[in-house]
Amino acid sequence: MLWNDVFAPFATPFDRAAFLPAADITVSGGDMVLTMDLPGLTADDLDIELVDGYLLVRGERKRPDLAEGSRFAHTERTFGRFERRIRVPDGVDPEKVAATMDNGVLSLIVPKPDRMIPRTIQIGSGSEQRQLETSAA
């Protein structure tokens, strides 16, 4: 049996879909957190922008160079340029978005705009009550 024949049942064309990192989004009372798996990438490989209500994460996962005389016998990992576009609420302050990268996992913390944070309204009584202004007709 030839070495090439070992991988024949798993043959995968080289023109597979480009790399698209998996992402999770969680929402809490004050923040939206985007977590994205980016194995093999570093912070220098990424561009992150907040544009027209979208958080854009762009980058490229490059196929490793092979030594001269080597070739791929089987491939499953995807490579290429990618862009993830996540809609965020109007009014998000780009200066308050925090990004960290740890072991190939990107985490973005997007604080909710003040207008979206629930506020408790106290009910006044007695002398604390404000009087409604009415216009005399």
**Tens digit of pLDDT at every position of the chain (137 positions):** 444 444 444 444 444 457 889 999 998 888 899 999 999 999 999 999 999 889 999 999 998 899 999 988 888 888 999 999 998 888 888 899 999 999 999 999 999 887 766 778 888 776 665 666 666 65
83 close to 58: Cβ distance less than 8 angstroms: yes
Mapping DSSP to helix (H, G, I), strand (E, B) and coil, where does residue 94 land?
helix
Task: Kindly compute the dihedral angle of the four CA atoms of residues 31, 36, 40, 41, in this order, to the nearest 10 degrees.
Answer: -50
Helix (H) or strand (E) holding 83: strand 80-87
Alpha helices in 41-108 (DSSP H): none
- What domains does the chain contain, in order, with CATH numbers? 22-64+77-111 (2.60.40.790)
Instruction: Give the pLDDT score at 123.
Output: 85
Mapping DSSP to helix (H, G, I), strand (E, B) and coil, where does residue 85 land?
strand
Residue 95 DSSP symbol: G
Place of tokens 């791929």: 72
Give the contacts of 85 (CB within 8 A, at least 6 positions apart): 54, 55, 56
Instruction: Give the pLDDT score at 6.
Output: 44
